[in-house]
Amino acid sequence: MTIAPLRFPIRILTNRHIYRRLVSQFLVMLITIFGLMLIGTSPALAGLNDDRFDGNIFALYGGNGSLVPPRISLAESLKVGKPALLVFYVDDSSDCKQYASTVSQLQAPYGRAANFIPISVDSLPVKSTFTPTEPGYYYKGLLPQTVLIDQKGNVVFNEAGQLSYERVDDAFRKVFDLLPRSESVELKRRTFNEINTELTNQ
C-alpha cells in the first residue's frame, strides 16, 4: 500500500495581490471609522433658541445679510445729520438671534431715512472712555441693546432686551414726526394745517 502525498492548495501571492488586499482592508477600516464617528457624534448645529455660534445672525435669522457690516459708521452718520439706529449684539446669543428679524423688519420702512448700524460688542475696542462719535459710548453692557440717535445727535431711545417692532417704530415715528400708528398704518408726516372736525362740528 502506497501512501499518496498530501496535497494542499498553495496560493502564490504576488506583490500585486498583496497590495490589493492591503488597500481593500484599509478602505474597509477607514469607512468603518468614519461611520462610527458619524453615529457617535451629537449634532453640532446651532439654532434660534440656543447660545451657540452659527454665523451672521442678521443673514440667518433676520433674512438680511446687508446689515452687516454696516454701510456707514456712527461718526459719518452724525456728520451728515441722519438718524442712526445702533443695535448692539453678539452672534452667539439666543436673544440677539430672535431680535435680528425685528431689526430687519424695521429696515424696510426706515432704511433709507435712517442709518442702521449693528455693532458686534466683540468688535468694540477695550478702553476706559469713548467719545459720542464712537459706538462704545452708548453701550451699557446689556444685549441686545437698541439706541436711536436723532438728526441732531441726541439719544431719543435707549433700551435693552428684545423689543417689539411697534416699540421701536414708535420711537422712529417721533424722530420723523410721523402720525401715530393708531391713526396711520402708512408712514405719513404730520401736517400742521389739519382741521380737527370734532372741534368744528360743535
- Per-residue pLDDT tens digits for 155-197: 999 999 999 999 999 999 999 999 887 765 566 555 444 443 3
CB contact set of 170 (below 8 Å; sequence gap of 6+): 180, 181
- Per-residue pLDDT tens digits for 47-101: 889 999 988 999 888 888 889 999 999 999 999 999 999 999 999 999 999 999 9
**Cα–Cα distance measured from residue 146 to residue 95, given in angstroms and rounded to the nearest whole number:** 13
Q: Structural domains in the chain?
A: 57-175 (3.40.30.10)
